């Protein structure tokens, strides 16, 4: 018998409450960025109820460093899909130690889900949306079980689907905070240099945005930053940032 594929859904009331709260937070704190926004969110407003979700990808070290500065005990959630480059796993361990992060948690896909729906480990080739759902969306839902809010490293420059991203939004009954939303590649590179942060080992090989090994390729000059993700298909997001009841708490939503 197959494992169930539908995770627990937030109640309608939870979704409405989170949407309204996100609008309020965006109105009050949406002008803040980076460390200033993290200080308020981790240290005050969402204290004890917030985690950073990190892929330990090519730009992740900046946000990890900022969070470590605010509070190194902030929970950091990493989804180990079982398909990552070995370089990413080593980079996770090295950064964790260098930044002094004390609560990095790794979540695997459920063995039940993988066994039932991806027995040969090649679901990514047959049905990448289902593969992402089993290996990312469901594990994230479990990982976020104890939190009402989370921090992401998404940025507006990363493509058309992220152009209108606000600093604070709601997603499936939770608050989502995007402290680097307006940062550019130049800002990010400057911060790596200023802080002496190590680059992901695959940057030197031309990788710009890094996810699972079967679904990531290096990009050529002039290509979109995320062009190497699910290249050749019309898929551009793994699904953890998409929800039917999400609301962007930007100006339109606030009206
Ligand atoms: S990125 Fe590819 S391998 Fe990773 S979970 Fe999604 S489809 Fe599967």
- Residue spans of the domains in the chain: they are 12-203
Q: Number of C-alpha atoms within 13 angstroms, CB side, residue 140?
A: 26
d(CA 113, CA 3): 6
Q: Is the CB of 114 under 6 A from ligand 1?
A: no
d(CA 96, CA 197): 12
| Mutation test residue for ligand 1: of 118, 210, 214, 228, the one with most atoms within 8 Å of CB | 214
Would you tell me how many other CB atoms lie within 10 Å of the CB of residue 122? 11
Q: What is the DSSP string of 98-153?
A: HHT-S-EEEEPPPHHHHHHH-TTS-HHHH-HHHHHIIIIIHHHHHHGGG-SEEE--
Q: What is the CATH number of domain 12-203?
A: 3.40.50.620
Give residue 19 CA to ligand 1 midpoint distance, Å: 29
Give residue 215 CA to ligand 1 midpoint distance, Å: 6
Q: What residue ranges in the chain does DSSP mark as E strands?
A: 50-53, 76-79, 104-107, 149-151, 168-171, 174-177, 247-248
Cα→Cα distances 21→31, 151, 173, 247, 252, Å: 16, 16, 10, 11, 15
- Inter-helix orientation angle 60-70/86-99, to 10°: 30
Residue 244 has pLDDT above 80, yes or no: no
Determine what percent of the chain is predicted with pLDDT higher than 90.
71
Mean pLDDT of 61-65: 98
Return the minimum-mean-pLDDT range out of 66-70, 81-85, 110-114: 110-114
Q: Is the CB of 132 under 6 A from ligand 1?
A: yes
- Can you tell me which atom of ligand 1 is nearest the CA of 238? 6
Mean pLDDT of 144-160: 92
The pLDDT-based confidence of 90 (bands split at 50, 70, 90) is very high
The pLDDT-based confidence of 100 (bands split at 50, 70, 90) is very high
Would you tell me how many other CB atoms lie within 10 Å of the CB of residue 134? 24
Task: Give pLDDT, residue 3.
Answer: 40
User: Nearest CA to 138 among 81, 84, 87?
Assistant: 81
Render pLDDT for 22-55 as a digit per residue (tens, 0 to 9). 999 999 999 999 999 999 999 999 999 999 999 9
The pLDDT-based confidence of 80 (bands split at 50, 70, 90) is very high
Instruction: Considering only residues 181 and 160, tell me which one the structure prediction assigns the higher pLDDT.
Output: 181
Percentages helix, strand, coil for the chain (3-state, rounded to 5) are 45, 10, 45
Task: Give pLDDT, residue 208.
Answer: 87
Q: Is the CB of 135 under 6 A from ligand 1?
A: yes
Residue 74 has pLDDT above 80, yes or no: yes
The pLDDT-based confidence of 9 (bands split at 50, 70, 90) is low
Q: Is the CB of 137 under 6 A from ligand 1?
A: no
* Structure tokens belonging to residue 249: 């708490």
- Residues in the chain, how many? 255
């Amino acid at each position: 018998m197959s494992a169930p594929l539908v995770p627990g859904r937030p109640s309608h009331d939870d979704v409405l409450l989170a949407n309204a709260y996100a609008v309020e937070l965006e109105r009050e704190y949406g002008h803040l960025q980076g460390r200033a926004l993290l200080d308020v969110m981790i240290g005050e407003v969402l204290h004890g109820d917030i985690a950073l979700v990190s892929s330990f990808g090519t730009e992740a070290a900046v946000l990890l460093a900022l969070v470590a500065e605010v509070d190194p005990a902030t929970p950091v959630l990493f989804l180990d899909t079982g398909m990552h480059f070995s370089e990413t796993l080593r980079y996770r361990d090295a950064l964790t130690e260098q930044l002094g992060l004390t609560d990095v948690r790794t979540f695997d896909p459920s063995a039940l889900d993988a066994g039932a729906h991806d027995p040969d480990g090649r679901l990514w080739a047959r049905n990448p949306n289902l593969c992402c759902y089993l290996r990312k969306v469901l594990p994230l839902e479990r990982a976020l079980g104890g939190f009402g809010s989370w921090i992401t490293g998404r940025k507006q420059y990363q493509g058309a689907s992220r152009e209108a991203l606000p600093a604070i939004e709601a997603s499936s009954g939770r608050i989502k905070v995007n402290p680097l939303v307006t940062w550019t590649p130049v800002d990010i590179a400057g911060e790596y240099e200023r802080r002496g942060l190590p680059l992901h080992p695959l940057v030197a090989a031309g990788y710009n945005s890094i996810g699972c090994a079967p679904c990531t390729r290096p990009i050529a000059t002039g290509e979109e930053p995320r062009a190497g993700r699910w290249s050749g298909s019309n898929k551009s997001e793994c699904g953890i940032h998409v929800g039917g009841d999400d609301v962007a708490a930007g100006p339109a939503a606030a009206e």
